[in-house]
């Protein structure tokens, strides 16, 4: 007698759509930053409410889960922030939520995690997001690393200081000089400033009410970190805090920042049923590990891994959104794949060196910008969002442009 199957018939994987992403303006961490007196969970609440406001065709009860990332999961970033933020945002109590931590790739992992659930059929629609209030919760606050990590020489001690890992990448690739890093940083500032002037950056921002004991109430409507007018000459004189006569400075790195991001992720058929826009379609994703002391090279193996799995090549990619934790990290990726550091396909609206990097929030900023760039470029079929991750990892997601019209005669 034939055995009874132990599982139901395998189901087909569904297409996963990035509907839309939004974010708060990013602030500078610290007592003088715009969010010094704003709670981290309130930033997430603002993002969730804005997503629902922009898409009234989405019944709140249809949200199957809320995944919110934070690197430092204590205080107002703790208590299973995905669930508490969902309740505070007014979602029905029937909507569950949870927290995620993959350091800088928290929001990216929130997206890929709910996407896996959607593709499998466990969800139809979910909200993914990330938050980091580095002013209230500096990286590493409250952690207790196992001493064996260092004592047993599992990693080099420099692996626990991100700026030192960037210096290590410079060591590994001497062709990436400080001058190149500074030139890339100045370019990021210039491209970001141009994107703001032309309103390419702005529509995705959610105004946030802020409070200052000295100044009273205010309204955050734009990013605080950018330094317009930055030049290679001004960057050349900055000190190198991680190493005497080093190459990593505050000018060619992302700063310490506060902010939140969020996105609606849905099965493509559900999005069409509800009349939701399809900003882009997920093709594949991959995470990879590298030596923790050179964590900045993580995007390279992650990208190679996902390209192999999807059957694509780097020449198929028409737009790149690379998180700029450090200029050297971006340059190591570009050099590996033979891409010029001034290539207009790479971070065309600038990046984190200009606008900031609130750790776990940044992945969805990359996705939001790529989605909006796709709408402007129907000749581009594929794009990627990629980032390095603390403790020696990288993550890459490949996306397809639903507006692709095939007019350029190639897959890009």
Strand 216-220 versus strand 208-212 pairing type: antiparallel
- Scanning the structure block, which residue is given the tokens 């290679």? 232
**Whats the size of the chain, residue-wise?**
412
Cβ atoms of 357 and 324 closer than 8 Å: yes
Cβ atoms of 310 and 381 closer than 8 Å: no
CB atoms within 10 A of CB 61: 10
Cβ atoms of 370 and 38 closer than 8 Å: no
- Scanning the structure block, which residue is given the tokens 């205080």? 75
Q: Report the DSSP beta bridge partners of residue 129.
A: 68, 262
DSSP string, 352-378: HHHH---GGGHHHHHHHHHHHHHHH-T
Is 104 noted as a catalytic residue in this protein?
yes
Instruction: Single out the catalytic residue among 133, 137, 357, 377.
Output: 357
Instruction: Single out the catalytic residue among 104, 137, 170, 377.
Output: 104
Instruction: Single out the catalytic residue among 133, 137, 170, 388.
Output: 388
Say which residues have a Cβ less than 8 Å from residue 36's Cβ, sequence separation at least 6.
30, 135, 212
Is 355 noted as a catalytic residue in this protein?
no
- Please work out, in degrees rounded to the nearest 5, the angle formed at the alpha carbon of residue 164 by the alpha carbons of 162 and 167: 120
Structure token pair of residue 129: 């997001």
Is 137 noted as a catalytic residue in this protein?
no
Enzyme catalytic residues: 104, 357, 388
């Amino acid at each position: 007698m034939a055995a009874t199957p132990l599982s139901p018939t395998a189901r087909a994987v569904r297409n996963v759509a990035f509907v839309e992403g939004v974010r708060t303006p990013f602030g500078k961490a610290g007592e003088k930053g715009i969010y010094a007196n704003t709670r981290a969970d309130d930033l997430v609440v603002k993002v969730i409410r804005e997503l629902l406001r922009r898409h009234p065709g989405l019944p709140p009860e249809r949200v199957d889960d809320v995944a919110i990332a934070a690197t430092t999961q204590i205080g107002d970033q703790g208590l299973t922030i995905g669930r508490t933020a969902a309740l505070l945002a007014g979602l029905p109590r029937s909507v569950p939520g949870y927290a995620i931590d993959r350091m800088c790739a928290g929001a990216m992992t929130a997206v890929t995690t709910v996407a896996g659930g959607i593709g499998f059929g466990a969800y139809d629609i979910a909200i993914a997001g990330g938050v980091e209030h580095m002013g209230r919760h500096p990286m590493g606050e409250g952690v207790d690393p196992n001493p064996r990590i260092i004592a047993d020489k599992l990693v080099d001690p420099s692996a626990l200081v991100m700026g030192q890992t960037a210096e290590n990448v410079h060591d590994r690739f001497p062709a990436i000089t400080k001058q190149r890093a500074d030139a890339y940083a100045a370019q990021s500032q210039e491209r970001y400033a141009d994107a703001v002037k032309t309103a390419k950056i702005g529509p995705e921002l959610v105004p946030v009410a802020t409070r200052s004991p000295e100044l009273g109430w205010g309204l955050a409507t734009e990013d605080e970190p950018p330094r317009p007018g930055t030049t290679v000459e001004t960057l050349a004189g900055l000190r190198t805090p991680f190493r005497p006569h080093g190459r990593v400075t505050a000018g060619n790195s992302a700063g310490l920042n506060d902010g939140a991001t969020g996105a609606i992720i849905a099965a493509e058929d559900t999005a069409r049923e509800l009349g939701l826009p399809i900003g882009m379609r997920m093709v594949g994703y991959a995470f990879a590990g590298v030596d923790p002391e050179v964590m900045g090279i993580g995007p390279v193996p992650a990208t190679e891994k996902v390209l192999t799995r999807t059957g694509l090549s780097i020449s198929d990619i028409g737009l790149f959104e690379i998180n700029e934790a450090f200029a050297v990290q971006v340059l190591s990726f570009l050099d590996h794949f033979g891409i010029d550091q001034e290539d207009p396909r790479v971070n065309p609206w600038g990046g984190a060196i200009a606008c900031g990097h609130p750790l776990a929030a940044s992945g969805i900023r990359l996705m939001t910008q790529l989605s909006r760039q796709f709408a402007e470029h129907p000749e581009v079929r594929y794009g990627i969002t990629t980032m390095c991750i603390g403790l020696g990892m990288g993550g890459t997601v490949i996306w397809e442009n639903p507006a692709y019209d095939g007019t350029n005669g190639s897959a890009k």
